[in-house]
Chains A and B, each alone.
Chain A
């Protein structure tokens, strides 16, 4: 019984940890994608400035917003990098900040 219980607990735990790790990995992926797409957004804005479709003032505003988000993502990543326990909380934080992004 105990052995069966341990096996079940084990698989639950291990499966659970694996599940959490998967979540973290995909969240990091999304972050990376998000960072990539933010950078591309910045590049697109620079292109529009060169083409005269956007003035320097508009660009400065947009650049500030994009750079702030990039900084948020960096900070979040730094938090995740400091151990297994905070990995989970890091993922949680990222989830929250994603939600915040989408609602903006």
Chain B
């Protein structure tokens, strides 16, 4: 048995309490060794390219007019979406190297798992494009050489096609694959799970088992809703434990809980019961009675995390910690605090929740938030739609430009949904909303509050400007090199413009006065460890983190030791049940947040 995490922000090792790496390590269990690994997309991409470099160069030489140097440089470029693209190839490799017949995959939070599950088709699609690139060579070989014999590069193409097709089939075979969906007993999680399961049903990858984690006795109402929504699937309930289950003994206990047929919430003795006198929602009730108006003023911490000239405020953290709720609450507080500033609350997590949190309808356009200050707008980015629109508008131009360097068939690349699409579109939207293309031009927004996808993909988004710049510069240098033959054209002018905008965004992201990232976490150990790693990654990216919000702090509950978060302020957001939703309750809730004292 091999357990593998494909989430770029791994927690599998934290759960086992064993340090893991990209190569499987044995973990002792009562029934022999379990192997476990945490994939690393970057090195995996490097290895794959290394193994197939000769074939890839051959295909590029045959299918494009690029010389060897251009091809070499192309092969060294980083790929957006490498996590999802490489995961399948890595899973296949690890399974065959370890001779494991059974794989348990710990996937990334919702949106990127959906992307991951769609990736086998993208592999096949990529194989088709490479195949078309070879077609001209085959034709010439047949015409002038008499016969064409498949070589190494044809094998690579055939392999990719077969792998993509085989994985896609296996995913849809109930005898060989099962997807278990894990959710929290909360309205937001229910809405997200409904959307995801619907998408997977449509993709013909049905989810038969839904695991509701951390159930407490008070969750009866939402549990009933979950039972109604997923009556056709196997439901399993895991009780909230006083301490987060970590390490082998605790995981064994969780496993036993999962084996029980249809356990009902509240029957497990370990379930955390409501203590006598424990308030349901007391912090907010207190705030309500003293609240001077509908919008409560947040404390001084707000000015500390969002100074006047702040342009971009990211909120990010592990899946399920309450990022979106915190982002919406902060956006409301900021909109009230700075009534003259134009503020946009932008969700870049493809599994959006801001409409559910604010309890208003939203879409892929900037809309006013009903009941909130007038200066606040909100938008849930729809990357697929944006990409389709872009393709509609630019397919001709890009096809033309690609046609200058490549033979027929490469234009088909545009028909594939590119891996990393969500981050690419989010990047382009950030450029549109915070960077004015003309110096001195009107900026659409003074401040954009970004509700990011969970940790791993929030980091991928922040790495995207650099990556996009390397592609932009690659194309610029190609155009310059071949300008006598192909001319420069509109594309060159646009690439220059993009390069300038990306550099300005890059400078903006690294300016601690104008861009800040606030990490949202919980008191439990797993989110806490992930937050520590997130802070390290953000430091490497030179992105300022003024504060960590510890969400759902119970009055008598665990509090994270502050030294774990370096120099960041700690803001405690009190636990509320049910979690706050709707403009009014969010505005009241955010008023109860407090900066933890030394």
Contact = CB atoms under 8 A, between A and B. Distances in A.
A46 interface: yes
Interface stretch (B230-238, B305-313, B401-409, B473-481): B473-481
A36 to B, nearest CB: 10
A50 B476 contact: yes
Contact of A44 (B472, B488, B499, B500): B488
Interface in A17-52: 40, 43-44, 46-48, 50-51
Interface string B321-336: 0000000000000000
Contacts of A47: 476, 479-480, 488, 492, 495-496
A43 B496 contact: yes
A51 B487 contact: no
A77 B477 CA distance: 34
Which among B473, B479, B483, B488 has the highest number of chain A CB atoms within 10 Å?
B488
A80 B505 CA distance: 46
A102 to B, nearest CB: 20
B473 A43 contact: no
A79 to B, nearest CB: 30
| Size band of the interface chain B makes with A | 10 to 19
Contact of A43 (B472, B488, B500): B488
Mostly, the A contact residues are helix
Interface in B475-526: 476-477, 479-480, 483, 487-488, 492-493, 495-496, 499-500
Contacts of A46: 496
Interface string B369-399: 0000000000000000000000000000000
A102 B372 CA distance: 67
Contacts of B473: 50-51
A66 to B, nearest CB: 14
A50 B496 contact: yes
A46 B496 CA distance: 7
A51 B488 contact: no
A48 B472 CA distance: 12
A48 B500 CA distance: 12
Contacts of A50: 472-473, 476, 495-496, 499-500
Nearest to B477: A51
A80 B495 CA distance: 36
A43 B493 contact: yes
B414 to A, nearest CB: 24
Nearest to B473: A51
Contacts of A43: 488, 492-493, 496
B480 A44 contact: yes
Contacts of A51: 473, 476-477, 480
B502 to A, nearest CB: 10
A48 B496 contact: no
A44 B483 contact: yes
Contacts of A48: 480
A60 to B, nearest CB: 16
A26 to B, nearest CB: 22
A43 B476 CA distance: 11
Nearest to A50: B499
Contacts of B499: 50
Nearest to A41: B488
A40 B477 CA distance: 15
A16 B123 CA distance: 68
A47 B483 CA distance: 12
A53 B477 CA distance: 10
A17 B499 CA distance: 51
Interface string B153-179: 000000000000000000000000000
A78 B496 CA distance: 31
Interface string A49-66: 011000000000000000
B488 A40 contact: yes
A43 B495 CA distance: 11
Contacts of A44: 480, 483, 488, 492
A48 B496 CA distance: 9
A66 B276 CA distance: 82
Interface in A51-95: 51
B77 to A, nearest CB: 15
B22 to A, nearest CB: 34
Contacts of B483: 40, 44
Contacts of B495: 47, 50
Nearest to A48: B480
A48 B483 CA distance: 13
Contacts of A40: 483, 487-488
A63 B472 CA distance: 23
Given A44-B488, A47-B495, A51-B473, 14 more contacts: A40-B483, A43-B496, A44-B492, A46-B496, A47-B476, A47-B479, A47-B488, A47-B492, A48-B480, A50-B476, A50-B496, A50-B499, A51-B476, A51-B480
| In the A-B complex, the 9 residue pairs with the closest CB atoms | A50-B499, A46-B496, A47-B476, A43-B488, A40-B488, A47-B480, A50-B496, A43-B492, A51-B473
Interface of B: 472-473, 476-477, 479-480, 483, 487-488, 492-493, 495-496, 499-500
13 contacts: A40-B483, A43-B493, A44-B480, A44-B483, A44-B492, A47-B476, A47-B480, A47-B492, A47-B495, A47-B496, A50-B472, A50-B473, A50-B500
